[in-house]
Every structure is written in C-alpha cells, then in structure tokens.
Amino acid sequence: MIRRREFITLLGGAAAWPLAARAQQAPKTIGLLGANSAAQQSQWTAAFVQRLRELGWIEGRNISIEARWAEGSNERAAEFAAELVRRGLDVIVTSGTPIALAAKRATATVPIVFATASDPVGSDLVVSLRRPGGNVTGLSLQSADLSGKRLELLREMVPGFHRLAVMASVGSPAAMLEMGEVQAAGKTLGLDTATFEIRRTEDFAPTFQSMKGRAQALYVVSDPFFATNRTRIHTFAMSARLPTMHAFREYVEAGGLVSYGASFPHLWRRASDYVDKILRGANPADLPVEQPTKFDLVVNLVTAQALELTIPPPLLSIADEVIE
C-alpha cells in the first residue's frame, strides 16, 4: 500500500495549488489497484502521479490516493477491489486485465480506468473501444496484436529458429487469448509451436523440463502471476538454454532476453488524463478506449552472451534500451 507520507515524499517540491476555490473543496479520492507490488510498479506510479500533478491534481491538497497491491494474486485483487469500493472513492485505477475485471465485478457505479488491459473487448471489460458503455474505460495494450512482430524478432535473433514454446497462465483469460494469437502467428511464420499451461508456482519446474529438446525459444505470455515469478522464469529458462520473448521490459530486467511492447510509464501517464476528465465530470461510458502510441524494444546482452547468441547490429541500433 502507498501511504500518504510516501506520496508526499514522491510529490516533494510541488508548486502550490494556484486555484484557491478548488483548494477549499473536499479532496477527490482515487483508488489505485496494482497487479504487482509497489516496488515493481514504482516507475508506473511515479509517471501517473507526475501527470496528475501537471493536470493540477496534488495529493494531500485536492486529491487523496489509496493504493492496494495484489502481488500477482487474483484472489487478493478481488478482496482489495471490494475494499476500495466500500471506501466510496471517486475513481479506481487498475493495471492488467484480471485486476480491471476484479474491479468491474466489485462495482457497476464507481468509474474505473484501466491503465493497461490486453483485450478490453474480448475480455468483456467494455462493449466496444469507441463506446465503452458502463463504468469502465482506459488504455488497450494491443498485446495480442504484437505477437507476430515478437516472433519475427525472435527469428532474427535465434539461428535456424523453427521450434517455439509458448507458456501462459491458465488463471488469466487474457493470457489464454494471447496464447491463441501466438499460435496463429507461429503458423503463419511456419513455426512448430508447442503450448504449455501454468496453474501454480509448482508447475514451472516440470514445465521447463518438458520443454528441453522441444523448442529453440520461449514466448512468455505476460500476466500478473508471471510478472511476480519473472525471476523464477528466467532461472528455469537459462537452465533449459531457452531464449525468451516478453511483452514488457521488467521481464528483461530480471534476465529475459528481449521484450517488445507498449511503454507502461507512457500508458500510466495517459491514464491520468482519463482520471482528470472523470474527476471533472466526464462519464467513462463516453470516453473511448485508446491504443498505445509508444512501443519499447529492450534487449539483454548479458543474457544473449550467456546463451551464446549474437544479436544483429541493426536490431541493436533500433533498440530503445540495451542491458549490458
């Protein structure tokens, strides 16, 4: 949980709120329901709070923020969502499709903004991207749509690549949808694809053991449970000598080979714009779901060297970040 004094520290040095009339009003209340831990999402939270400040919303003056962290647990997310709804907040901000769904199940009246969601329509978060309907809106990751691009990147990095393993958490409907997209993209590219489903932490060891000799690379379908276990995934992948593809840079920071996907800090900044509009009276049903506009390619050269892979220089030249 982010406590008030922690946000005051984060916001230290902020200029005084210039509109006296607004300052005299009761602070608006924002609930932040994170999929992972506060530490894991610190960069995203900082981007979110910074943008709110730019829009004139300052914690401790005209807004208050209550944060809860599910740490990869859908059960904990449901409990926290219900708790935040009971607090009578003005808006709830979520990260990840399972977390957004937990919030939606908890309330049909409190506005909900998802800073990230893989497939808002397919997962029944919204009726349509143009007209969300209901009390939920936000930003789509387009994660499944990027599956083909990620496989093409793997093909550039792994010599003779034609056997792919895809791993997803069965506890996440969005992850299973993306797994299907990866299978379709793999078929288009002529890859032999084997899928592996994870239900609990204990499944990782036997699953990676069964991958040995059956794959030349691993596509990890991201979700909060996998994000919490990303260091464990890297350890097993290295033991199996498998290069890994991910959607988000945090996995590569933990040792994964490469990630390509929407920039989370940028999406969280844009989520603040939704919150601003809702706090000023907008109806989430009328705020279209937007697509990402900034994508990051991150490569871990340390991992590449450990796997004896040579990353093509043209690919390194277009990478947004190279970990050495």
- Could you read off the pLDDT of 295-318 as tens digits, one per residue? 999 999 999 999 999 999 999 999
Taken in order of first residue, the domains within the chain and their CATH numbers are 4-141+263-294 (3.40.50.2300), 144-262+296-323 (3.40.50.2300)
Res 184: pLDDT: 93
pLDDT, averaged across the chain: 89
Residue 143 is predicted with a pLDDT of 62
pLDDT higher than threshold 60 for residue 156: yes
Q: Percentage of the chain with pLDDT > 70?
A: 91
Query: What is the DSSP-derived secondary structure letter of residue 216?
Result: S
Average pLDDT over residues 166-170: 93
Position 80 confidence tier, pLDDT thresholds 50, 70, 90: very high
- Report the predicted TM-score, pTM, of the whole model to 2 decimal places: 0.79
Tokens encoding 311: 């990353």
Query: What is d(CA 324, CA 319) in angstroms, rounded to the nearest whole number?
Result: 13
Q: Are 44 and 69 in contact (CB under 8 A)?
A: no
Q: pLDDT at residue 211 above 90?
A: yes
CA distance 45 to 48: 5
Task: Report pLDDT digits (tens) over 214-228.
Answer: 999 999 998 888 988
State pLDDT tens for residues 145-155.
689 999 999 99
User: What digits encode the pLDDT tens for the residues 3-55?
Assistant: 444 444 444 444 444 444 444 578 999 999 998 889 888 999 999 999 999 99
pLDDT for 283 beyond 60 = yes
Res. 108 pLDDT band, cuts 50 70 90: very high
Lowest mean pLDDT across 38-47, 80-89, 160-169, 307-316: 38-47
Longest CA–CA separation in the chain, Å:
68
Q: Which residue has the tokens 């894991």?
A: 40
- Please tell me what DSSP assigns to residue 300: E
Specify the range with the lowest mean pLDDT, choosing from 20-24, 116-120, 126-130.
20-24
Phi, psi torsion values for 170, nearest 5 degrees: -70, -10
Residues 6+ apart with CB under 8 A from 204: 198, 229, 232, 233, 236
pLDDT at position 24 is: 54
In this prediction, what percent of the chain has a pLDDT beyond 90? 74
